[in-house]
A and B are shown apart, each in its own frame.
Chain A
Amino acid sequence: MGHKRLRFLGVVAAAMVFTLACGGTTGGGTPTKTYKIGLVTDIGGLNDKSFNHLADVGLEKAKTDFKIQADVKESKSGDDYVPNLTDFATKNYDLVIGVGFLMQEAVGTVSGQFPNIHFAIIDGAGTDSKGTDLKHSNVQSLFFKEQDAGAMVGVIAGWLEKNGKAKKNKHVVGAVGGISIPPVNHYIAGYKWAAKMEDPSIQVLVGYSNNFTDPAKCAGVATSQINQGADVLFQVAGGCGLGVLQSAGKAGVYSIGVDADQKDADPSVIASALKKVDVATYTAIKNVVNNQFQAGALTFEIKNGGAGYSVDNLDLPAELKAELDKIEGQIKSGALTPPADIPA
């Protein structure tokens, strides 16, 4: 009956969420056209402390700034993606936003059925069942230059090693990826590139857990890297990566979070590499309101404020802060370009 017990716990949690959610919403009425924007979360829901939450933050900001009608549908299961997207489309929403690559196929299907409705999808494209981008003229893909964010945390790792501020100072750092796919490797590429730039004698260990969900698998890779002398570990493996942060905490070395600010995941987290989904969502809405919707990829990077880093459980030395600002400026100006492929 374990499931039922879970279910009753779920009821308590749901009742709490419901209490918060029952406040009711009303669209702001203006004499000019009120744009209607629909956001469909993936199964993580609005309280996932990650992509869905950030997308909602962007939506709320746009609601304040542009007086739009902003509606959210939380998907309870993968079965809900298509009906949720379809409902907004049938009601002639001006933009329907899907959060995350899990929704790629659903966005591909529904955008084909409603060629006059604009869609945007975070970190994905509208695809067919084989994952091929259908390149519909009404779909905008909101992508991120993960290597920009990876480079900033790479600066932190390299600088700590070079200046003897890490825990072991053997000039060894690590990165634990989930699966060797482009978004993961972009992060690691920027990280390794920047760490080497800061500390030319550094060795960057790169490992993969072949998993995005099981913390134990990532903990195994992390422990192996720690045993090889690594004392700063960058996790690029979603939920699996929590195992990296925890292993680092147990071993008394530093760790770096990914995608969202993971400061609270473990005390060992000194920084996080960020995809600013809120900025991406806000920008996509702004473009629609300004009648500037464009199909195809829109890329978010340091230059347009769509990627970056946060400093977490670390007293940031002034020299390191100066170094970070310098590198960030150079990436913005184009003087430095973090690579998309992991350097040798």
Chain B
Amino acid sequence: MPVGSVLFAFVIGALICVVTGANPIAAYAGLVCGGLGIGCTQGENPALQISNTIVFFIPLVTTGVAVALPFRAGLFNIGAEGQLLAGSVACCAIGIKFADLPAPILLPMVLVGGMAAGAIWAGIAGVLKATVGAHEVVTTIMLNYVAQWLVRFLIVGGPLELAPGTSKSHPIGAGAQLPTLLPADNSVIIFGLPASVFRVHSGLFIALVAAAVFAFLLWRTAFGYEIRAVGQSQKAARYAGVSVRRTIVLTMLIAGAFSGLAGAVQIAGVDHNLTDKFFNDTTGFDAIAVALLGLGSAVGIVLAALLFGALHTGGAIMQSDAGISSNLVLVLQALILFSIAANFVGAIRRGLPFGRRASPELPTELPPAAGLMTEAAVPPPGKT
């Protein structure tokens, strides 16, 4: 099904190209070269393209996990973006305030600080859901705005701003920065380029570990079982002795920690300061597509994040090599989402697990997409 969605998107994208008089083969050759470094004809450096794709891949994996985990509990976390921003802010604030501490102390501080901030941000929505039944879709979206404007406040005339009018924060201390995989040195030549142009950083391992932790938590722990039980049926879970409220709050806290980690790793590994690019960052929203496309499994999320990372990097190459606007990439991403969405319309028609009535205390109509993640719809790879 996900492969079908991607194929569908690429076929329609090719049709759009043909109809508008462009060459779809040239367009996709540009995308493949740009995203994966394969088949480049105009002097692109393959290693550099792969490095750039991985830089975009890293936060998509971690936020993808942060969306997929609540899905399993029947919760729709639209707030990965806000949680990521909260993590970025915490990482920056700590990294600036304690800039002089050595890396072995400061690096764990900024990463854990980012996780804590993301967890708090998502935890607000979780507690509201568990206590007063406020729908997490609404609260997490609203918290996205709060986080965006908080960033704006902090770096436009606010306490973190470098100097008036700069719209960015001070850089974090050297000890708070994640090392790049290759030496960040202009004078060392690797793959024919100065080594510092390869921005791929050790956050790669953090992202992969996050995906593994997600899979382990979900399939190999009692709590993971509770999450899945709540996602399948709150009534049945409660009957089996699972505390639904506790599960909801804990799930959101953990999801927020993943998102917050993504934000902290982005600051520590790539940006090293808060800039106004975070005003219109979309990582946390792309993560929803990544989680859906990856069917909520760790391996699926990694593959989907790789696809989205490659599309992002490939778009710019397609524009300069084939002369086709990189907006085609946005069209492709939206078409992928569209075909997944169209598919769950079909799932509803077939009466898959959405017909349940909400329990009186917790008005929890499952979001339609949650059905994609349940065992009834898709046999999970790790299930024995």
Contact = CB atoms under 8 A, between A and B. Distances in A.
B331 A15 contact: yes
Contact of A179 (B165, B272, B276): B165
B137 A181 contact: no
B186 A181 contact: no
A131 B163 contact: yes
A3 B78 contact: yes
Interface string A180-220: 11001000000000000000000000000011110000000
B111 to A, nearest CB: 20
B137 A24 contact: no
A82 B166 CA distance: 18
A18 B16 contact: yes
Contact of A114 (B194, B316, B325): B194
Given A14-B327, A18-B20, A78-B275, A92 B43 contact: yes
A11 B331 contact: yes
A264 B281 CA distance: 29
A8 B320 contact: no
Contacts of B312: 76
Contacts of A1: 78, 137, 141
Interface in B36-79: 42-45, 48, 52, 55-56, 78
Contacts, number: 156
A107 to B, nearest CB: 14
Given A24-B22, A113-B194, A18 B280 contact: no
Range, interface on chain A: 35 or more
Nearest to B284: A3
B334 A8 contact: yes
Interface in B251-292: 270, 272-273, 275-278, 280-282, 285
Interface string A1-33: 111100110110011011111111110000000
B164 A179 contact: yes
Interface residues of B, number: 65
Given A14-B330, A24-B324, A91 B43 contact: yes
Contacts of A78: 275-278, 281
A84 B316 contact: yes
Contacts of B99: none
A129 B164 CA distance: 15
A230 interface: no
A42 B282 CA distance: 16
A73 B272 contact: no
Contact of A130 (B55, B162, B313, B320): B162
B319 interface: yes
B156 A211 contact: yes
Contacts of B56: 79
Interface string A74-95: 1111111011101110111000
B325 A74 contact: yes
Contact of B17 (A14, A22, A75, A91): A22
A72 interface: yes
A84 B318 CA distance: 12
B102 interface: no
B196 interface: yes
A130 B165 contact: no
B343 interface: no
A7 B277 contact: no
A114 B22 CA distance: 33
A328 interface: no
A21 B17 CA distance: 10
Contact of A24 (B165, B322, B326): B322
Interface of A: 1-4, 7-8, 10-11, 14-15, 17-26, 38, 43, 71-80, 82-84, 86-88, 90-92, 102, 105, 110, 112-114, 129-131, 178-181, 184, 210-213
14 contacts: A3-B78, A10-B334, A14-B327, A18-B20, A22-B22, A71-B320, A77-B281, A79-B277, A83-B52, A90-B45, A112-B196, A113-B197, A131-B166, A179-B164
Given A74-B316, A79-B270, 11 more contacts: A3-B78, A17-B325, A18-B325, A18-B331, A22-B325, A74-B326, A77-B280, A105-B275, A113-B197, A129-B171, A210-B157
